[in-house]
Structure 1
Amino acid sequence: MIAYLQHLTKNALDTETLKQVQQHIVTKTYKNKEIIGTTDILSRNLYFIESGLTRVFYSTEIKDVTFYFMKEKDFYISVESIYQNSTSRCGIEAIGETVVSRIDFDFINRLLGKTPEFASMKESLFVDYIIKTNERLHFAKFTTPKERLGHIMATQPELFNQVSVSYIASYLGMSRETLSRLRGEIST
């Protein structure tokens, strides 16, 4: 996480600030299907995927739904917890062995007042988050199932080797059977 923060702030963080951040980071290796962050809790953490792959999910009474996947160098926060002081709707689950660092978001906010580079980085991360959320919304609402699958096959083909078909089907908003049928149509 430290190296990536340095990259995002264009190496502008001083040694003392880096030392403070390093002291607050907790890094853990998770096994396949291990829960990193649960739903229905107040989460004040910023998560950073050091290596591996995760899925962000939410659960309903009927089913578990994959919202999106996160890979190396992706950040995650519970927007509901951080900005609305309410429980998180989403959880995070490791897919395969995954290394994740976390840091208390309130600590990062305290640094914002002291370190302008962090304020710039935070704005950059939130712009990226808004763009990705907008893309996910467009993807889910304004494309056909076949277009969604074609897009994933073209842009993230590695998912099919790393992620269960159930998770991919859930992410694409279709059944496993529909996914298999459409994948066959696209491949031929």
Structure 2
Amino acid sequence: MENFLGIFDKFPFLSDNAKAGFLSNLEEVKFEKGELLEQKGKVSEYLYYFLTGSARSYYTRENRDITVSFTLDGEFVTAMHSFITRKPSYENIETLEKSIAYRISHDTLLNMFENHPETERAYRMILEEYYIVLEEQQIFSKFKSARERYLELMEYRPKVIQKASVGHIASYLDMSIETLSRIRAKI
């Protein structure tokens, strides 16, 4: 639990009362490799914080998985569109390894906003971070070469390379496995 308390470093403005309220509403969940946290067609009920482990978010198109993001320890994840709109999710989120996460339900989070208004600011900051990552990924995939995309992933998210399969990485970087293999061979 000590590692988990580091989450509050990102939100120094939270009162001790708000922190205690948040912690008391969290549920610890353990996942095996390949388990789905969120599933296409279902409404996302939880916001997860990964204590240990990793996950990937992906869509399926024409019987092909398209990886759109990775989650590592110390990061939040949910099927954000579904979590916010309360509509069925477009994406799946699966663990890449045994993982331990904490989750809070949508309804409980809304109650937290009522009882501890400063938690709404923390949630806004989580949403902003999520949006920035998505925007960077869009720019990343459209304006950089395959080699540049891989080198940036190596520099900024090296744990992804250690934890994800070659297929997942290639999909995330919007390239074929063969292209990724050629790039890796030249590095």
1:42 aligns with 2:43: yes
1:118 matched to which residue of 2? 119
1:12 aligns with 2:7: no
Q: Which runs of 4+ in 1 moved over 6 A?
A: none
- Residues 82-91 or 127-136, more deviating: 82-91
**How many residues are aligned here?**
185
CA RMSD, aligned part only? 2.1
1:68 aligns with 2:77: no
TM-score normalised per structure 1: 0.87
1:53 matched to which residue of 2? 54
- Residues 2-11 or 127-136, more deviating: 2-11
Gaps of 5+ in 2: none
- Residues 31-40 or 164-173, more deviating: 31-40
2:130 matched to which residue of 1? 129
The share of aligned pairs that are identical, in percent, is 26
Q: State the Cα deviation string for residues 36-64 of structure 1 (Å, max 9, x = none).
A: 22221011211111111111111123201
Residue 116 of structure 2 aligns with an amino acid whose one-letter code is T
Gaps of 5+ in 1: none
- Residues 154-163 or 95-104, more deviating: 154-163
Q: State the Cα deviation string for residues 77-125 of structure 1 (Å, max 9, x = none).
A: 3232233221111121111211111111221122213323202211211
Residue 79 of structure 2 aligns with an amino acid whose one-letter code is S
3-state SS in 2 of match to 1:158: helix
3-state SS in 2 of match to 1:96: coil
Contact 1:9-1:117 within 8 A present in 2 as well:
no
Give distance in 2, aligned partners of 1:50 and 1:121: 18
Residue 79 of structure 1 aligns with an amino acid whose one-letter code is M
